[in-house]
Structure 1
Amino acid sequence: MKIALLGYGRMGQTIEKIAISRGHDVVLKIDKDDVDYDITQADVAIDFSLPTAAFGNITNCINNNVPVVSGTTGWLENYNKAVTLCNDKKGAFIYASNFSLGVNIFFELNKTLAKMMSNLKQYNVTMEEIHHTKKLDAPSGTAITLAEGVIENNTNYNAWELNETKNNNAIPIVAKRIGDVPGTHVVNYASEVDTINIEHVAHNRQGFALGAVVAAEWLVGKTGVFSMNDVLGIK
């Protein structure tokens, strides 16, 4: 499989190593200032670029019939446009806020716990996410996905807010930027008598990169807009 890497930062470099180890060829490595390239060289593209570049990268791929997997966060105001374009062009597209296979299991665990806690109004939900100091967006896309999973499955909440909130129906998300932390996410249910936590701790970036490559392998030859639940067979 011939892969184009759109974004060649630390994630892109890790994806390259894993892709090569799985027998694939990286035929394009596009950094933030590269604009003149032929995306049709690739069988599939993996986008871990900047928020300002992601929608343009995804559009270019879909317009040129190249399946695209995107893990860039901070561009989702244009997500519906990407979905519409993909459907109109009969392309193939996967977006995930986190491609880690473990995190996607964690997303489903979070939804299940939210349903179980919905009638227990004495528990207050808070979230915390910790990432490296070079991460540009806050809260993380993963934290937002977790918050949305609670909101969809727990009638006590209808919004999330960064850091502290005075809205009892909003989930506060505390975002911390520390050193070289790959990613830690905690969902906390606290009452006066006890606390329930679920937590995912990434030990390195390889889990994110492996998931992106697995998603790209799965996407080639398909048509439509998909998620990591499709890749993992989670219903």
Structure 2
Amino acid sequence: MNIALFGYGKMGKMIEQIALDRGHSIVAKIDIDTQHIDFENMDVAIDFSMPNAAFGNITSCFEHGVPVISGTTGWLDRFDEAKALCEEKEGAFIYASNYSLGVNIFFELNRYLAKMMRNLEQYQVSMEEIHHTQKLDAPSGTAITLAEGIIENSDYQGWKLDDAGAKEIPITAKRIGDTPGTHTVDYTSKVDSIEIKHTAHNREGFALGAVIAAEWIVGKKGVFTMKDVLNLG
């Protein structure tokens, strides 16, 4: 499979190594200074670029019939536009805030737990995420996805960083050392606590999941999620 990398930072380089180890070819490495992009030999594009570049990268791929795997955060105010163009061009697209296979299983556990806790008003939910000091956005895209999973399956109406109102989920964001990513969802009452937690030991899981998604999407048409890739229903 011929893979194009949009964004060639730490994640792009890690995706490159995993893709090569799995027998694929890297046919393009598009970064901030790239002047010309040859879409001709791309079977799939993996986008881990900058927020201000992501929408242009993704839509250019749709215009040239190239399926896209995107893990770039910070551009989702234009997600519906990208989705509409994908459908118009009969393209293929997956966006995920986190491609780790373990995290996507964690997303499903989180939704299921939220349904179970919905009518137990004595429990108050809170979240904590910990990442490396170079991560600038807070809370993380993964934390926001977790919060949205709770909101969809409960009476909570939103989330807020730190101090939150009665119907809001409080999220604490910490930046410590070189932490790849730890996410905790906690339900606490006066008598006990229930906690689910995902801890990434390194960043390879994020890159591996993106390559697996790229392998899965080739030959398909539509807008998908990692639930489709992992057959989670």
Q: Report if TM-score (shorter chain) is over 0.5.
A: yes
Deviation larger for 130-139 or 62-71:
130-139
Question: What is the aligned counterpart of 2:204 among 197, 203, 206?
Answer: 206
SS in 1 for 2:201: coil
2:19 alignment counterpart: 19
Q: Is the 8 A contact 1:129 1:143 kept in 2?
A: yes
Residue 36 of structure 1: aligned partner: 36
* Cα distance in 2 for residues equivalent to 1:111 and 1:161: 19
Name the residue aligned to 2:157: 158
SS of the aligned residue for 1:181 comes to: coil
Q: Is the 8 A contact 1:40 1:66 kept in 2?
A: no
- Aligned equivalent of 2:179, options 168, 172, 181: 181
Kindly provide the amino acid, as one letter, of the partner of residue 231 in structure 1. V
Aligned to 2:144: 144
Quote the sequence identity (%).
67
Amino acid aligned to 2:86: C
CA distance in 2, matches of 1:39, 1:139: 34
| Counterparts of residues 29-108 of structure 1 (less than 5 Å) | 29-108=29-108
What letter matches 1:32 in structure 2? I
Taking the aligned partners of 1:54 and 1:186, their CA distance within structure 2 comes to 28
Deviation at 1:194, TM superposition (A): 0.8
CA positional deviation for 1:35? 3.8
Under a length normalisation based on structure 2, what TM-score does the superposition of the two structures give?
A: 0.98
Deviation at 1:121, TM superposition (A): 0.6
Matches of 1:35 and 1:74 in 2, distance apart? 23
2:158 partner amino acid: A
- Cα distance in 1 for residues equivalent to 2:91 and 2:154: 34
Q: How far is 1:34 from its partner? A: 2.0
Q: What 5-or-longer segments of structure 2 have no aligned partner?
A: none
User: Shift of the alpha carbon at 1:178?
Assistant: 1.4
Work out the CA distance in 2 between the residues paired with 1:36 and 1:180: 35
1:39 is displaced (CA, Å) by 2.6
Specify the SS of the correspondent of 2:183: strand
Which residue of structure 2 aligns with residue 117 of structure 1? 117
